[in-house]
Amino acid sequence: MKTEIEKQNALMTLIDGSILLSYEQKLDMIDEFPRLTEEQIDALGKFLAVEEQMREEFPEDIQKGVESVLTQIVGEPVVGDDNRVYVGVGKPS
């Protein structure tokens, strides 16, 4: 059985990796963390663990969905397979 600290650390990792939660929601959760009951921590952990499991089980489907949405927004296919690294603000022109 995990200790309370281990549960909190695991939950913080799941919060950080969540793609469903906005940055502000993540910060709000971290602020509320000390006031959460053990049951609330467990429930939040289960919810975020399901998200993580879905990302692990369906990475291709998620990637295709993201590409489809980006294509609709940009109007052309968005290729994400290059290994360029950008430093600074924005992409180079």
Structure tokens at 58: 């369906």
**Nearest residue to 79 (alpha-carbon basis) of 67, 87, 69:** 67
Q: pTM value?
A: 0.61
Q: Which residue has the higher pLDDT, 83 or 10?
A: 10
User: What is the structure's pLDDT at 76?
Assistant: 75
Share of the chain above pLDDT 90, in %: 22
Share of the chain above pLDDT 70, in %: 82
Side-chain half-sphere exposure of 8, counting CA atoms within 13 A = 13
Whether residue 44 contacts residue 36, with contact meaning beta carbons closer than 8 Å, is answered with: yes
36-56 core/surface letters (b: 16 or more CB in 10 A; e: else): eeeeebeebbeebeeeeeeee
User: What is the structure's pLDDT at 50?
Assistant: 92
30-61, pLDDT tens digit by residue? 898 889 888 988 899 999 999 999 988 998 98
